[in-house]
Amino acid sequence: MRLTLIQGDITTQEVDAIVNAANSRMRGGGGVDGAIHAAGGRAILDDCVQRFPHGLPTGQAGWTTAGELPADWVIHVVGPNWNAGQRDPSLLAACYRNALAVADELSAQTMAIPAVSAGIYGWPLEDAARIAVETVRSTPSKVEEARFVLFSKEIHAAFEAAAAE
């Protein structure tokens, strides 16, 4: 698998699947989640309601339509909320492993991935980047390109440092 890092807007990526850092209710929210729902339109929320009537637990992943996004699917992962005391690194790693497993189920060859839990959920950035890069690199998958799409220069720099290790 080729791992790439770019600074940019995940909602504009032309990939098979876009990973969404969702909340456990699966009804949209702020940050990446809000941006994906806004850009993809109502179809994503409608699919979330139908496919996940009770939401998803932390660390799990599931897919929906991508609506109006330039992708085929959105793979929703529920990241751990550091600020709410969810500090088990295995939960964050599970998000990436489960996203790759769902991508394989969908036969997705390319995927765009945000920095899960590193924003509003408060996971320390360097640790979040290390867990993300190590997990994606070490998880067997048929995905050809895992593209981390990072919103700010600071997040991009942290992921570059993690990728260089």
Q: Which of 145, 135, 94, 56 is nearest to 64 (CA)?
A: 56
Which amino acid, 47? D
Query: What is the DSSP-derived secondary structure letter of residue 10?
Result: G
Active-site residue (options: 33, 46, 47, 104): 33
Which amino acid, 18? I
The answer to whether 99 and 77 have CB atoms below 8 angstroms apart is yes
Q: Which of 109, 97, 100, 46 is nearest to 72 (CA)?
A: 109
Query: Using CA atoms, how far apart are residues 61 and 63, in angstroms rounded to an integer?
Result: 7
How buried is residue 90: exposed, middle or buried, by Cβ count under 10 Å (0-12/13-18/19+)? Answer: exposed
Let me know if 33 is a catalytic residue: yes
- Token code pair at residue 22: 């969702």
- How much is the CA Rg of the chain, to the nearest whole Å? 14
Q: Which residues are part of the catalytic machinery? A: 33
